[in-house]
Every structure is written in C-alpha cells, then in structure tokens.
Structure 1
C-alpha cells in the first residue's frame, strides 16, 4: 500500500514536471517544433538511465526507491524513456531482430492506433 501511494505521489510530481517543461517550451522562438515533447523525452531517457544505474548497478539508490522513482516520476513524466530502455536491453543482448521488430511494430502500430483513434473520435 505504501509503495502504491509513493508511486502515485511521484507520478503526480512527474506529471507536474512535464507540465512545467511544456509551459516553458511554449515560450521558445519556434512554436511549430514540438520542443516540450522533445525535451521531456530526452530528459526522461537521461533520468531513467541515471536512476536505473544508481539503483540496479551501483546500489546508491535503494531498489524499492528506484522502482518508485522509475514507475512514478519518470513513468508519468514520459513513457518514451521506458521504450528506449527496453530497446537498449535488446541491443545489449544482441537481439537485433527483436529490436528491429520492436521499433517497427511499436512505431507503426502506435501511429496507426493514433490515426484510428482520431477517426473514431470524429464519428
């Protein structure tokens, strides 16, 4: 129960951080470029890599706290970091075919699902 509560609290913090980045990015000179999304995704990937390494590889962050930070804060901040992390694991394991399929399938199906959702929403 305590873990779920912490994930929710850190999730709220991640969502607010995302909102803050989007608000700040709306002031950038070229509003047509998706600055907020780009900054959030890149920063989220950095944070995922840092927290995961400090938790799982170096034991500088206790594993339960690492789980809460990754699932709660980073998970609500951006899911792109999880996508990239999973791709990195496949890369490290030398699973090139699975990696290629993951990227192709998730991108094509994701794009297709978005288009379908838009069209269904217009009915």
Structure 2
C-alpha cells in the first residue's frame, strides 16, 4: 500500500511539474509546434535513464521511493498521451509533415535522452 501511495503522490508532483514546464516552454517558444510536450518528454526520458541507473545500480534505497519517483513523478511528468493527441491534431490541421517531424524527432530524441541519462548515471 505504501508503494501505491508513493506512486499517487509522485504522479501529482510530476503532473504539476509537467504543467509548469510546458507553460514556460510555450511562453518562450510559442505554440506553432508542440514544444512544451516535446521538451517534457525529452527531459523526462533523460531523467528516467539517469535515475533508473542510480536506483538500480548505485543505491540500495527504498523500493517505495524508487516507485514514487520513477513510476509516479516521471510517469506524471512525461506525456505520451498528450504527445499522441498533439500529433493527431497536427495531421487534422493539414500539418502532416510537421506531425511526422514531431513524431520522429520525439522518438529519436527521447530514446537518445534515455541513453544519455543511463551513461551519466553509470559515470557516477
């Protein structure tokens, strides 16, 4: 039960962080492209790779804490469902090329972010 509560609390924190970062990114870059979701997903993947290595290879910390952060915070922070609807909306708006660019760049950069996070975590 503690794990479930940690995930729920972490999810709330992650969702608020996503909102703040997306809002800040859209204010900075505009709304002509889903920059907010794009930035959140890349940063979230980087953090997931790094923290996964930290929790599994470096620290022998609490399973509850690990679940609260990796599943809760980062699960609430990253936005695959939002990514999907934004890609769909771009297609519906006749922006198929922009949608394809968004999908491909998100896939490549999020996997690269995870990889970079793992590398950073393993260097500690």
State the TM bucket, normalised to the shorter chain: 0.5 to 0.7
Dislocated runs of 4+, deviation >6 Å: none
Normalising by structure 1, what TM-score?
A: 0.59
Give per-residue Cα distances to partners, 1:82-122, cap 9 Å, x unaligned.
x849x97xxxxxxxxxxxxxxxxxxxxxxxxxxxxxxxxxx
What is the number of residues matched between the two proteins?
A: 85
Can you give the 5+ residue segments of structure 2 that lack an aligned partner in the other structure?
Answer: 81-109, 116-124
Query: Bigger radius of gyration, 1 or 2?
Result: 1
Greater relative CO, 1 or 2 (CA 8 Å, sep 6+): 2
Higher helix share goes to which structure? Answer: 2
Say if 1:29 and 1:47 are closer, same or farther in 2 by CA, change over 3 A: closer
Can you give the 5+ residue segments of structure 1 that lack an aligned partner in the other structure?
Answer: 89-123
* Aligned-CA RMSD value: 2.5
Provide the C-alpha distance between the structure 2 equivalents of 1:75 and 1:29, rounded to a whole number of angstroms: 24
Provide the C-alpha distance between the structure 1 equivalents of 2:45 and 2:9, rounded to a whole number of angstroms: 20
Normalising by structure 2, what TM-score?
A: 0.59
